[in-house]
């Protein structure tokens, strides 16, 4: 929240200075940006889910390898925790989740299916839900657990890899779009600094203020459209 507020304040004051040469206008813009906080939170949540998806793929492979050696799910999670502890730290989502599941199984004797189901419901990511459904079905039907889990891990892992590559491509396009989106701000600032007399009528007349407001609105709308076009949810 503090980071968002600081960024919104700086952007608002900069826009007020560039387009209106007025700090009051900057405060008004800051207050308008403040209403975008839910969108900011949603973006952070989307980034967090993508991070979990990549880490879950790593967990899948280690769990699959442990199950193929005859381990049960609890032992597989313990071995995965030890293995990935050198790669991820305690703040990473997958480490938090695995530690939480193991703690629940130790302290309450909860079944592995229950803790996995709770894990999938917390994140509500299709790839995690699919894996838990496969595991639960195998436990109920008594199928070939190691072989089926290895196959499921391979299919889900390939899907996650494709989603990661797609996200990387979209991120590159999004960066290009953002550069284009902020170009009008940079050009207006350059004219303001290099030729203040040329920009004076914009700041001192009602028509000029209306042009500034329209220009700022169109630039903001363009940035919003760029963000929406280049956004994809997994």
3-state secondary structure 42-99: HHHHHHHHHHHHHHHHHHHHHHHHHHHCCCCHHHHHHHHHHHHCCCCCCCCHHHHHHH
Average pLDDT over every residue of 171-193 = 84
Please check whether residue 69 is in contact with residue 150, taking contact to mean a CB–CB distance below 8 angstroms: no
| 49, 164 Cβ separation under 8 angstroms | no
Residue 234 has pLDDT above 60, yes or no: no
The pLDDT, as a whole number, for residue 230 is 67
Comparing 70 with 228, the larger pLDDT belongs to 70
pLDDT at 24 over 80: yes
50 pLDDT higher than 70? yes
């Amino acid at each position: 929240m503090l980071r968002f507020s600081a960024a919104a304040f700086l952007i608002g004051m900069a826009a007020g200075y560039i387009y209106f040469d007025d700090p009051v206008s900057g405060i008004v813009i800051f207050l308008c940006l403040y209403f975008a906080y839910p969108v900011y939170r949603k973006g952070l949540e989307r980034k967090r889910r993508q991070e979990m998806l990549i880490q879950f793929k790593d967990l899948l492979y280690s769990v699959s390898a442990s199950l193929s050696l005859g381990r049960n799910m609890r032992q597989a999670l313990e071995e995965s925790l030890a293995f990935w502890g050198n790669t991820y730290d305690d703040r990473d989502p997958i480490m938090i989740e695995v530690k939480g599941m193991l703690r629940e199984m130790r302290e309450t004797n909860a079944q592995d299916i229950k803790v996995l189901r709770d894990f999938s419901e917390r994140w509500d990511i299709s790839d995690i839900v699919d894996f838990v459904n496969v595991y639960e079905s195998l436990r109920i039907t008594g199928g070939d657990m190691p072989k089926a889990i290895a196959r499921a891990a391979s299919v889900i892992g390939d899907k996650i890899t494709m989603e990661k590559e797609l996200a990387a491509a979209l991120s590159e396009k999004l960066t290009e779009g953002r550069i284009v989106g902020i170009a009008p701000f940079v050009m207006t600032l350059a004219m303001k600094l290099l030729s203040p007399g040329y920009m004076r009528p914009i700041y001192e007349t009602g028509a000029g203020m209306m042009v500034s407001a329209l220009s700022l609105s169109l630039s903001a709308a363009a940035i919003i459209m760029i963000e929406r076009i280049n956004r994809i949810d997994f």
